[in-house]
Structures are given as C-alpha cells and as structure tokens.
Structure 1
Amino acid sequence: MELFDVYPLYNVSPLKAEGLWVYDKDGEKYLDLYGGHAVISIGHSHPHYIKKISAQLEALGFYSNAVQNPLQKELAAQLGNISACDEYQLFLCNSGAEANENALKLASFHTGRSKVVAFKNGFHGRTSAAVAATDNPSINSLLNAQHQVDFVTLGDLQALEAQLAKGDVCAVIFECIQGVGGLDEASGDFYNSLEALCRKHDTLLIADEVQSGYGRTGDFFAFQKHGITPDIISMAKGMGNGFPIGGILIHPKIEAKHGMLGTTFGGNHLACAAGLAVLEVMEKEQLMKNTREVSAYFKDKARNIPHLKDIKGRGLMLGLEFDFAVAPLRKKLIHQKHIFTGGSANKNLIRILPPLNVTKEHIDLFIDALSETIQGQQL
C-alpha cells in the first residue's frame, strides 16, 4: 500500500529530537525554529514531559468520557490559573480544527443562527465548518461550500457591521494574529470594536488561538494584549507538545446540555498528562518571560538582515518579510544550514515558531546562517 500523496515533502527523515535539535536517519543535526507548525512548545523530549506521560501510560492510557476523569479537572484548574481565564469552562478534543468545529457548532446552538463571519486570509482548519471559514478556495470542496460563511477584510469595521446587522450571524471567528495568512494583525481599536459589535448584535465572538495561544506571543493568549473577552477560545497546537490535544474555553453565559458536544478520544488520560506536563514546565521554567525576552533580542538582531522589509508578529510567532519569494531560501536553510523554518500564504515571508525555551544563542546561529545564505544567493 502507498501513502495518499497530499504532502510536498522535504527530503529529511527525523528519527529523534531533544530541546531545539532534531536528528535525522543519517545523524545530521537540525535547528528547529518551526516546532512542527508551532506544536513543540516546551522543547523536544523534555524530561518532565516524558516522565509524566510514561507514568500515566503505565497506570491508564485511555478510557472514554463515559466515566469520571480527574485529570481533566486538574488540567482545567491549572489552565484557568496560568491563562487568567478561570471563569471559562473547558471542553477537550483532539486538534485545532476540531476545536474550531465545536466552537462554531456551540455558537449555532446558543444563538439559533447558522451564518458565520470570518476574515480574509484567515485559516481555521480543514474539517467541515472550519475549512468553510478558511479563506482558501483550493482546500474547500463543494460539500464545505454548503456552510454559510461571509468573509470581510481584517480591520474593516464597516463591512463587518453590515454583515452583523442582518441578524443571522451566530459567530465571528478571528485569529488575533493570522498564522498561515502571514502574521497580519489588526489594531487594538479594531478588536475592541469587534467585541462591541458582536455584543450589539447578539453574536458570539470566537478567538482562534490554535497557533497564537499557549504563551506563544508572550501573553498566554494573543487577544489578551487588547483587553477583550471572547465568548469562546479555541486552542490546540502548543497544548500537548506533540501529543494530539485541543480544546475550547467557553464563557459561562453559554449553557451546557448533555450530549450537545462529544468526542471519543478528546481529553483522554494520556492527553491530559501531556497537557499538564506542558503547563507545569511553562510555569517552572518561566517560558512566557523567556518568550518576551528572546523575541526582543530576535527583533533587534534581525533588523540588519539583508533585503528584509518587515518583521511581523509578536513573541515567538514571528515573520520575516523580504523583497523576494523565500521558498528557495527556505530550502537552502534546510539542506545547507540544517535549520527548519516555515512558510505562509505570503510568499515573501518566513515564519519563525520555535519552542518557547529557545535561547539567544539559537537566534544568533539562525541570524548568521540566514544572512550568509542571502548574501550568497542570486536575487
């Protein structure tokens, strides 16, 4: 049997990893500044993470949500404390797409409406409603197109209010910083006005923090910089450091009813152990503080990179925008310098999404390698 060929793959086969370093089948060493799409939050093979998951696996790896699981309550308590979102309620699932799917479904249940407003250049996942709310026709099938979604430009309050005034929108879903789209972020005034408009028109506000959450921006959630209160917050990538886990935080004004949401694997014992390990390491090692400090260092060092037009993003969710398409440069960084970086819908932008325990020394290695590679290529 062959694999279904949907991924364009680099010719690299990692076999093990530790901290910021990934090792391939030939023993070559790679600096990971992409974290597998912002998934690796506390570094590869963190000893506390391994210990916590191993101990849980020896005790009980899985049982369904038909029985009580105290680990879920422990995870909820720790998450509420470190995120400063203790008033919310937690529903656990397996991925970011599933988190957004449940968020949109819950908004429709709560409001009795079916239409969604999303933003151009946004990305919310590849499942049914989540992909319909993603502004990329190439990954939307006719089946997905049955969902009612209107797209407006990020920052356009007039267009947004025109949609909400129709009275049929259950939710507005937004990324505070657009990840796949290329690290664009609107102003604080826009996000505050977005919240006010949703309140005015009895529409739920969904903050997609799947990529930008879990300390990646230096705040626990990216929206917290702007002082707003979403009705639902979706999260996933950095939540389990590679173990599949996702979830939504739900404002207490939304009433729970038995059976309205459900999942077989979501919130299982191993997933909760992974999630608890991540939060414990984040607190003990002060990784949000490290994120802010290394981010400032990165931005200062990066300003002298040749052909750089702009530095986008916050914390360790960063984009380097150049005056040329970066795909060939990223290939050279992988194959010649052994450094993983990310791309985006903006073909001139390199995404930097390292584990939150990245150091200034790692940044120095990257900046030197990047500058040397740019100077050595034909532009």
Structure 2
Amino acid sequence: MPLFNVYPLYDVTPVSGKGVYVYDEKGTEYLDLYGGHAVISIGHAHTDYVDAVASQVAKLGFYSNAVQNPLQVELADKLETLSGCKDYELFLCNSGAEANENALKLASFKTGKSRVVAFKNGFHGRTSAAVAATDNANIIAPINAQQKVTILELNDIEGVKAELEKGDVCAVIVEFIQGVGGLDEGSAQFFESVDALCKANNTMFIADEVQSGYGRSGKFFAFQHYNVTPDVISIAKGMGNGFPIGGILIHPNIEAKFGMLGTTFGGNHLACAAGLSVLNVIEKNNLMDNVNTMSNYFLKLAKTIPQIKKIKGRGLMLGLEFDFEVGELRKKLIYNHHIFTGGAANKKLLRILPPLTLRKDHINMFFEALIEALSEVEQPVNAS
C-alpha cells in the first residue's frame, strides 16, 4: 500500500551513519548538522550506544510498567546527577508530544483548572492539548481546538499577568529557546516574572525542553540560563539518540497517585538502556563543554559572513537568519555540498542542530560550503 503522503521529502536515502556523518545507498557522505530534528545527541552509531542497546535487546527488550524495572531508577538517578535537578521525580513516556501532554494533564490535575497559556511561534507537539498549545492553525484539527488555550506574544508579561489573574489557567508552557518557531527567546526578566506569576496564581510553569534539553543550549537545560524553577520539565529528542523515549521531570509540589499517568511502552527496558547510554557518553566525553567551545567557534565564523543578518539561539541550537527565504539554499547545501541543515517557521532561518560531538573541522567544512552555496542561489537585490 502507499504511504500516507504527509511529508515533503528530499531525494536522499540515508542507509547508515557514523558520528556526524550519514551515508546514502550510493555511499555518498553527508555532514549532518541537523541530527534529525536535534535527536542525534551523541552521534550516529556511537559504539557505547550500540553496545548498550544490543546488549539489552539480547536480554530483555520490553516488559510492562506492572513490574519492577531497575533501569528506570538508574536512568532517573543519572539524570538527576547530570542535570542538577535535585528532588524532581521522573515519568517516562515515548515522545516530546506525549511528554507535553502529560505535563499539561498533571498541571490540570494539580490546580483543578483547564486553560493553558502558550506563546506565539511555540511548538509543543501534534497530540491533543500539546497541539492546541502550538501556534500553527494548520495542524490543529477541530477536535484539538476544543482545548482552552490562550496564545500570547513572547515577552508580553502584562498579558501573562492579566490572564493568570483570571484564575482559570492551569499552566503556562514555554520553550526557553523556540525550536520550530525559529530560535527566538524571551528575556530573563520575562521568564523570571512568569515563574513568579505562576507561583502567585496557583499555575504550573512548564519548561518545554524537548529540543533544547540534554546540553544542547550549553547548560543541561535551557531554563538553567535563568533564575526560575519550573514545576514540570518535558524532555525527549536528544534523550535516546534516535531511540523513541521521552519524559517529564516533576517538582515535588505535585503529588503522585496510582493511575494518574500511564503508558504501555514508556520507560521500557530497551529505551532505558538507550537513555542511560546517552547520559553516560555526555558525561564521559564532556560533551556539554564541547557544546560551548564549538558554539563559540561557530559564532566567530558566522559573524564573518555578511549575508547572515542575525544569529539566534545558544550552544548548538542555532539559527542563521538571512534577508531571503532559505529553501533553495538548503537544497544547494544538500545536493551540491552534501550537508544537512534545518528550516523553521521563519522561512529566512537556517537551523543548525548537530550532534554534540561536533568538531572545528566540521564547522570549517560547513562555512566553506555555505559561502559557495550562497554564490549559487539567487538573492534579492534590495531585500530588507
């Protein structure tokens, strides 16, 4: 049967990967600066990761959450140590959308309220409440639109204050660095004021770290660049290096009850083995230090390219903004220079989300290719 045609596809067929490279069926090597939407955190086919997953699947790939699974406890302890999120509790699921869905559900349980405040250009997933909190009418079906969501401009602290004081908001959900929306960030004053307003109005503050977490911003979580304490932290993409796994870190002010949340596949043995391997590699190879070093080097070179009008993001979650739409530029990079990059809702933005193992020679390769690719695309004469 045919596949349901919902993805516009590039004519590239990766069949294998190693480190920051993927290879197609003809053996062509591509530099992967997108990591499949920031999923590949420790590099393709990392030997420690492959060994951990292979060893676990040879023993026990899955059993349900009706039995003890010490791997979940080990993963939670390692996550607490590396993230610095002391005293939070972990609930495991399968994806970022599911993580945000459970975060919003917990907020509603805790507060007894149902309305959500989210922000323009935010993206939180494609399931029920998560997609309703996403600022994209094209992916919100009528069944999703029944959710009570108010979308405000980022940095509109007076708007947040007015909505929370109405008394019916269960949660404010925010990406500290917007992903799909285009790498925009709120100010420190905004985030810290939202945190305070949530605490004053019996509203849960949800940090969507699905894309920005796991060291990608230069700290383990992007919210750690600010003086805030989220009630729930959602995680997924870089968590399993390609294996489907997600979760939420839950502040102790939210009490667990049997049956409150549940999942069949979430936290299965194979997912935990993958997740533990990622954390172990991040720690062993000092990848968060590498993120900051490579980010500084990347930014230094980016500032030498006159066509780049603005650089957005932090760490290895970066956006290069031009004064023209970058669709054709991305095609040139893929087909002529064999480099994967990402797009965004902001059509003038090139997204850079490489594995955290990126090196300076990879960055040099990218900028050499970018300069050539820019000469190959037709750019507007008087763009503004």
Residue 293 of structure 2 aligns with which residue? 293
Residue 382 of structure 2 aligns with which residue? none
Which amino acid in structure 2 is aligned with residue 64 of structure 1? S
Contact 1:62–1:268 (8 Å) recurs in 2: yes
Give the C-alpha shift of residue 86 in structure 1: 2.3
CA distance in 1, matches of 2:178, 2:283: 26
Contact 1:90–1:250 (8 Å) recurs in 2: yes
CA distance in 2, matches of 1:314, 1:69: 36
Give the C-alpha shift of residue 200 in structure 1: 1.0
Residues 258-296 of structure 1, C-alpha deviations (whole Å, 9 max, x = no match): 000000000000000000000000000000000000000
Matches within 5 A, 1:255-294: 255-294=255-294
Give the C-alpha shift of residue 56 in structure 1: 0.5
Give the C-alpha shift of residue 213 in structure 1: 0.3
Which amino acid in structure 1 is aligned with residue 66 of structure 2? A
Residue 160 of structure 1 aligns with which residue? 160
Residue 361 of structure 1 aligns with which residue? 361
Give me the identity figure in percent.
66
- Structure 1 SS opposite 2:54: helix
Residue 307 of structure 1 aligns with which residue? 307
Alignment: residue pair count: 379
Mapped pair 1:149 → 2:149: yes
Residue 92 of structure 2 aligns with which residue? 92
Which amino acid in structure 2 is aligned with residue 368 of structure 1? E
CA distance in 1, matches of 2:243, 2:378: 41
Contact 1:306–1:375 (8 Å) recurs in 2: no
Matches within 5 A, 1:311-330: 311-330=311-330
- Structure 2 SS opposite 1:146: coil
Residue 375 of structure 2 aligns with which residue? 375
Give the C-alpha shift of residue 127 in structure 1: 0.4
Q: Please, what is the CA RMSD of the aligned residues? A: 0.5
- Structure 1 SS opposite 2:100: helix
CA distance in 1, matches of 2:111, 2:297: 45
Residue 69 of structure 1 aligns with which residue? 69
Matches within 5 A, 1:225-240: 225-240=225-240
Which amino acid in structure 2 is aligned with residue 32 of structure 1? D
Residues 20-70 of structure 1, C-alpha deviations (whole Å, 9 max, x = no match): 010001111100000000000000000000001111011110000000000
Matches within 5 A, 1:126-275: 126-275=126-275
Give the C-alpha shift of residue 306 in structure 1: 3.5
Give the C-alpha shift of residue 98 in structure 1: 0.1
Which amino acid in structure 2 is aligned with residue 375 of structure 1? S
Residues 169-226 of structure 1, C-alpha deviations (whole Å, 9 max, x = no match): 0000000011100000011111110101101111000000000000001100000010
CA distance in 2, matches of 1:231, 1:11: 43
CA distance in 2, matches of 1:371, 1:303: 13
Stretches of structure 1 that go unaligned for 5 or more consecutive residues are none
Q: What is the TM-score when the length of structure 2 is the normalising length? A: 0.98
Residues 207-257 of structure 1, C-alpha deviations (whole Å, 9 max, x = no match): 000000000011000000102100000000000000000000000010000
Mapped pair 1:111 → 2:91: no
Contact 2:328–2:377 (8 Å) recurs in 1: no
Residues 81-131 of structure 1, C-alpha deviations (whole Å, 9 max, x = no match): 000002100000000000000000000000000100000110000001000
